[in-house]
Amino acid sequence: MKIVFFDTKKYDQDSFERIAGSYPELEIEYLDTDLSTHTVSLAAGADAVCAFVSSDVGTDVVNALADQGVKCILMRCAGFNNVDLKAARERGMTVLRVPAYSPEAVAEHAMALALAVNRHIHKGYIKVRENNFSLQGLTGINFYGKTAGIIGTGKIGVAMARICQGFGMKVIAYDKFPNPGLDFLEYKTLDEVLTQSDLISLHCPLMDDTYHLINKETIEKMKDNVVLVNTSRGALIKTEDLIAGIRERKFFGVGLDVYEEETDNVFENREDDILEHSVTARLLSFPNVIVTSHQGFLTEEALEAIAHTTLQNAMDFKNDTIKKQNQVS
């Protein structure tokens, strides 16, 4: 079974190569370029393609893959909002994903962002590097005793909730499908989470009803000086409304590992480029905003889990033993 990997970074290839010997029936070709309408022809002759969060797996790409005989799309991530599942089903293609690789990795990064914007770690680091040991502008707030609002209590959300509990925070949460086994947090309505939380962390999937979940209306309901963190999907937040809220000093700090318009930037070195999108540039201009490049998943443990699950998904597809929880189409 031949698999063409798109948008392969060195850390991707290293993690897959370490275990590839355990899957001798799989032939893997690694490509630097990402999957798009311009590159889909590179999948010719493959049984499957492996894509990532920034890949274009829309209608045109799915149809082109099917025309070339590709039968399976392997997503080496949990999210699949960039895949046209309807087109895949119509063309008889199977779409598999990695539903859980290391929830703790993303949750730990979410808390790292919250702590960094709260305690101005980024500012303090730069100041000391320039021999400026003044504490001016570095005052934060205690998380201990405050309220953490978790929106989305899947595995990552639960991991973040446990971290917040460990910090001595009261944990409240919103999810359309509450988990009755989580006795250490209290489920509330979305409005209650927005109005009562000192820290809000987003962990819900991007769907029609969560698109721009954070917007002018919901921002207005938040406490003043709230800390907002998003490590899920960029389009959960309407960026123009977020920027307006930042300018109105609604937020003590904002930590983003994902953001709208990230597609052209994520995982790429653009240090010599001028960013085309003014929205991204404006986000980067605020002193109380930290943006990282979708690195929440990036730990050795997570990369190993992603590699194992992705290659096992390929073998399960080949042997017609697909695990239901890994299949989205």
Residues serving a catalytic function are 233, 262, 294
Task: Report how far residue 230's alpha carbon sits from residue 126's, in angstroms, rounded to the nearest whole number.
Answer: 24
**And the tokens for 67?**
């025309």
DSSP letters for 113-148: HHHHHHHTHHHHHHHHHTT----TT------TTSEE
Please answer whether residues 149 and 201 qualify as being in contact, where contact means their C-beta atoms are separated by less than 8 angstroms.
yes
According to DSSP, the residues that pair with 48 across neighbouring strands are: 3, 72
DSSP letters for 225-276: TEEEEE-S-GGGB-HHHHHHHHHTT-EEEEEES--TT-TTTTT---TTSPPS
Task: Report how far residue 240's alpha carbon sits from residue 263's, in angstroms, rounded to the nearest whole number.
Answer: 17
